[in-house]
Amino acid sequence: MKADKFRWAPIIGTVLLSFVLWFITFYLTRGIFWVKISFSAAALAGLSLVLFPHLKERLRFFPGAIWLGLASAVVLYFIFWLGKVVCVAIFPFADSQIGGIYGIDKGTDTWVIALLLFFVTAPCEEIYWRGCLQENLMKRFGKWQGWLAATAVYALVHIWSFNFMLIGAAAVAGAFWGGMFCYFGNLLPVIISHAVWSSVIFAIFPVP
């Protein structure tokens, strides 16, 4: 897609839709959170693939994709472990806000959360946030400017949680996965990284 053929309408439209969906997911208490976030991500991903069919090209397998995804998930896990240590030491509210993240829909079985995150939420989020939004913004503004803009939107859409630590976590994770996409130009290792990391950190082995 050339810069002069950049289409603002689908980008602005999907961003506005993401704010509505994240409002329903995070702010409105009715319904199961993990189901709502999966539905929201799937809706955006499906719309992205319809509006920008070329995104399928970003999902091609290449040698090393699996190992890159797994290794980056481990790296990001330790970044969050270190980040928690630092934040708890600096911000008096950090511990309770992090606990609030893990307290979302406590009654949902961990295996359900893990499966939804691994097979639905993580892949669909990457298809939209990195594959659709970031790629289009990079083509319009340049690689790193587009990366920064997409990361900012990804963090900002989590404002409906009214949880500073969650917004910050989204910014860090979004910057990390966005950087991977900038470097590899392929969504597969990013999807694997997101799927493994989110399943582990939310359902299997939360950051202590």
Condensed to tens digits (0 to 9), the pLDDT of residues 39-94 reads 999 999 999 999 999 999 999 999 999 999 999 999 999 999 999 999 999 999 99
User: Which candidate, 184, 164, 194, 166, places its Cα nearest to that of 72?
Assistant: 194
Give percent of the chain with pLDDT exceeding 70.
98
Distance, CA of 59 to CA of 32 (rounded, Å): 29
Q: Could you tell me which of 54, 16, 11, 43 has the C-alpha nearest to residue 187?
A: 54
With b for 16 or more beta-carbon neighbours within 10 A and e for fewer, the 145-165 pattern comes to ebbbbbbebbbbbbbbbebeb
Amino acid 5 reads: K
C-alpha count within 13 angstroms, C-beta hemisphere, residue 13: 9
pLDDT in tens, 151-193: 999 999 999 999 999 999 999 999 999 999 999 999 999 999 9
Average pLDDT, the chain: 95
pTM for this model (two decimals)? 0.95
CA triple 137-141-142, angle to 5 deg: 95
